[in-house]
Amino acid sequence: MSTQTGWTSLFRARRSAPVVAFAVLTGLAAAAPARAAATPPAHAVAPSGYSARALAAQAESDLAAGHPGSAILGFERARLLAPRSPAISTGLERARTTAALPPVTVTGWQRLERHLSPNEWTWIGLIGLASAAVGLVALAWGVIGRAGLAALLAAGLVLSSVGFVAAVDQSPSPGRAIVVTPDLVARIAPFAEADPAFSAPEGSAVTIERAHGDYLLVAGPEGQGWIPSRGVKTILPPAERRL
C-alpha cells in the first residue's frame, strides 16, 4: 500500500513536467523551418546557398540582358525566400511587363498569403498542430480540464489549417516551370516536325507533366503540348525537388 501511495504522489507531483517538456519539444520541432529561414549575419553567407539578394541581382542582370523569362524565374525564386521584399515584387512586375505577359489577378486571400514565405506559413501550421497536441497531452495528465482542451484544440486546428493551406498555396509544385526561351512553340508530339499546339510566350508559367527524350509535356493556360526541355526551367531547381 505504501508503494502505491508513493507512486501516486510522485505522479501527481511530477505530472506537469512531461507536459511542459512535451510543449517545449513540440515548439522546437515546429520552429524547425523557421530556424532554417532565419536571417544569418552578413558574414555567414554560405558559398553554395540560395541568397535572395543574389537571386534578385541575377534576375536584374537577366532583365538587362533581354531575357525576361530568366528574370521572372529568378524573381520567383527570390520571392520564395523574401516574399515581403518590394524590390522583388517590382522587379517581377517589370519582367512580366517586358515579356508582354498579361497582368496577374490577385485575390485578397492570395495577397494575405504573400506576406509570408511558405516556410513561415508551415511554421504557423506546425505551431497550431503542436498546440492541439499539447492540449491533448495536458488533458491526459490532468493538467487542464475539458474546457481547456477544447480551447487549445480549436485554436490549434484553425491555426494549422490556415498555415498548411497557405503554405501549399504559396509553394510552387516541383513541376512548376517558367518558359525561358523566346518564340517557344508547344507541339502536339515530342518531335520538331510535329504540328504546333500553342505558342508558349517567354516568361509564362507552365506545369511539367512528363518527359520524353529531350521533350517535356507541359500544361499551360492554352492546353497541353510538348516543348524542348531546354526551353523551360523549374522554379524549384531539379536537383532538390525532393529532399
Partner 1 sequence: MTTRSRRLGVLAFAGALALGSGHERAWARPGPGPTARSAEPVRAFLRLELRAGGSAPREIYVGQTIPVVIRAYFLDGTGVSLTAQPHLTSDALTLSDLPDKPAQSTVQVRGFPYTMLTWTGRLTAARAGQERTDVALPVEISYRQPAPALPRSDQDSSSDDSENDANDPFSSFLKQTPLAKDPFFSRMFKGGDPFAGMMTDLMGTVRQRDLTLQGPGDSVRVLDLPAPQPAGFTGAVGNFEIAAGLSAGPYHVGEPATLRATVKGRGSLARLALDGVTSTPELTSYAVTAAGSPADTSERTFAQTLVPRQAGATVVPSLALVYFDPVARRYVTRRTAPIRIAVAAAAGPAGSSGTPASTGQPGDSALAPGLALAHPPGQPGVPDLVRPTLTPFIHTRRFPILLAAMGFVTAALALLGFLGQSGTLTRRRAARRLSREIAREQRALCEAVRRGDAAALFAAGRRALQARLAGAWGVPPEAIASTDVARRLGPSGDGIREVFDRADRLSYAGNRTEADLDLEPWPERISAELRALESRT
CA-CA distances (angstroms) from residue 222 to 186, 204, 205, 217, 235? 10, 11, 11, 13, 20
Bridge partners (DSSP) listed for residue 164: none
H or E element that contains 209: strand 205-212
Shorter beta-carbon distance to partner 1: residue 8 or 106: 8
The answer to whether 20 contacts partner 1 (rule: CB under 8 A) is no
Print burial letters for 91-121: b (CB count within 10 Å at least 16), e (below 16): bbebbbebbebeeeeeeeeeeebbebbbbbb
Rounded least distance, CB 196 to partner 1, Å: 14
**Rule CB under 8 A: is residue 241 a binding residue for partner 1?**
yes
Among 31, 98, 136, 207, binds partner 1 (CB under 8 A): 136
Binding to partner 1 in span 56-95, by CB under 8 A: 56-58, 60-62, 64-67, 69-70, 74, 77-78, 80-82, 85-88, 90-91
Q: How far is the CB of 87 from partner 1 (least distance, A)?
A: 4
Dihedral in degrees, nearest 10, Cα atoms 142, 146, 150, 152: -20
Residue 143, Cβ density class (10 Å: 0-12 exposed, 13-18 middle, ≥19 buried): middle
Report the residue from 26, 96, 113, 198 that binds partner 1 according to the rule CB under 8 A: 26
Site string for partner 1, 150-179 (x = CB under 8 A): --------------x--xx-xx--x-----
Measure the CA–CA gap between 21 and 18, rounded to whole angstroms: 5
Smallest gap from Cβ 204 to partner 1, in A, equals 15
225 pairs with which residues across the strands? 218
> How far apart are CB 148 and partner 1 at their closest, in Å?
14
Stretch binding partner 1 (CB under 8 A), from 48-56, 103-111, 205-213, 216-224: 48-56
Nearer to partner 1, 14 or 223 (CB): 14
Task: State which of residues 37, 155, 157, 185 lies at the interface with partner 1 (CB under 8 A).
Answer: 37
Whether 143 and 16 have beta carbons less than 8 Å apart is answered as: yes
Q: Report how far residue 171's alpha carbon sits from residue 158's, in angstroms, rounded to the nearest whole number.
A: 20
Instruction: For the segment 92-111, give every residue that binds partner 1 (CB under 8 A).
Output: none
- Residue 106 Cβ vs partner 1, minimum distance, rounded to whole Å: 19
Which residues inside 194-223 make contact with partner 1, applying CB under 8 A?
Answer: none
- 13 lies in the binding site for partner 1 (CB under 8 A): no
Burial degree of 67 (CB within 10 A; 0-12, 13-18, 19+): buried
